[in-house]
Amino acid sequence: MKNISKISLFLFVASFFLLTSSVSAETLQERDQRTIDNYNSAKSSYAKVVNEYKSAKSDFIKAKNQYVQYRNKESLNATLEQAKNYLNKAIDVLSAHINLVQSGAKNVSLTGGLTDDQKQMIASELNAEKDWLTQEKSLLTSAATKDQLVSHGKMIQSHWNSIRIIAKKITGEVLVDKINWAIAKGDAISTEVKVNIDNLKAQNKDTSILEGFLADLDKNLSLAKQKRDSAKSIFDQIGTSPAGNSGVVSASDLTAANDLFNKGNDFIKQANQYAASAHKDLKEIVRQINSPRFIGPPLNDNSSSSGGGSSSSSAESSSSIS
């Protein structure tokens, strides 16, 4: 249960990755608040049913222990009743968890977001699980024996694993989407910087420093794309072959999904580092363009020579950034 909560929280936090100054503070604040309000509502509902689930689990364990001690019909019936309630609460938790994941996925449009096709696919997968849970809750009412309840418990556990795998896959898609957005912004800015450099060259300005930082910017964006592609390739494998021939999603399927997610997330972290380095390059480019050397008159030969020294310093700085 704790792991599911962490996955959901991770999905929500992912929607705030790599916001840049091109988004106005007012618009960002409004979007933040809407996202937070929607998510907190789903999170509050989820926390409530989790507490009910924990209470039901505790009641079931107590009843089971009493049955082990007394081994009579009364204690058996009490155990079966508590077992059924426990399974019902487990279904409620899964339904609330799906709502939590859906809330995070819908509101991840903060900086561009998932495409309509991605959202539709997510909705389709999660709604299919919700439909199954609704049907299972109805079928559970007629379960009366130990074997029947055990059978229902196994199927609920299978879908529990399935939902967690879906959450992992969705989180991976969100992380790729966020780095895609940052890279696209970086590419657009790089193009603008090239135009500015050409304009400065036309004014007989020494742009060697700017070109050095631009080269670093493009290099970091290229490396971010490589790591992004590696992450996406791994995330795409999550949930592609679970369940086997039995149709049951096992703990080993979940472990495989967790392993894939962790590997993909490592690449995302590296991509974010390169994107952060590109952002530093951009800030330095803006600082340089706004400096007196580019605002003032064209550089003469002496200042060009001085600029060459600065370019050398820039090369050293670029080397350390890389």
Structure tokens at 213: 């930082």
Tell if the pTM clears 0.75, that is, is over it. Answer: no
Q: Which domain holds residue 67?
A: 2-321
Query: Which portions of the chain are predicted below pLDDT 50?
Result: 1-26, 28, 109-111, 242-245, 298-322
pLDDT in tens, 168-215: 998 898 899 889 989 999 999 999 999 999 999 999 999 999 999 999
Cβ–Cβ under 8 Å, residues 146 and 87 = no
List, as one string, the DSSP characters of 37-102.
HHHHHHHHHHHHHHHHHHHHHHHHHHHHHHHHHH-SHHHHHHHHHHHHHHHHHHHHHHHHHHHHHH
What is the sign of the dihedral through the CA atoms of 207, 211, 213 and 217? positive
User: Mind listing the pLDDT tens digit for each residue in 274-290?
Assistant: 999 999 999 999 899 88
Render pLDDT for 99-108 as a digit per residue (tens, 0 to 9). Answer: 988 887 766 5
Distance of CA 228 to the CA centre of its chain: 13
Q: What is the mean pLDDT of the chain?
A: 81
Split into its structural domains, the chain has a count of 1
Contact 298, 203 (CB under 8 A): yes
Angle at 8 between CA 5 and CA 13, to 5 degrees: 120
Q: In this predicted structure, what is the pLDDT of residue 108?
A: 58
Q: Are 97 and 43 in contact (CB under 8 A)?
A: no
Question: What tokens appear for 209 in the block?
Answer: 């420093």
The Cα–Cα gap between 93 and 26 comes to 36
d(CA 142, CA 131): 18
Q: What CA–CA distance (Å, rounded) separates 205 from 188?
A: 23
pLDDT at 318: 33
Query: Which residue type sits at 192?
Result: E
CA separation for the pair 207, 201 (Å, rounded): 7
296, exposed or middle or buried, with CB in 10 Å at 0-12, 13-18, 19+? exposed
- pLDDT of 85 reads 97
pLDDT at 4: 40
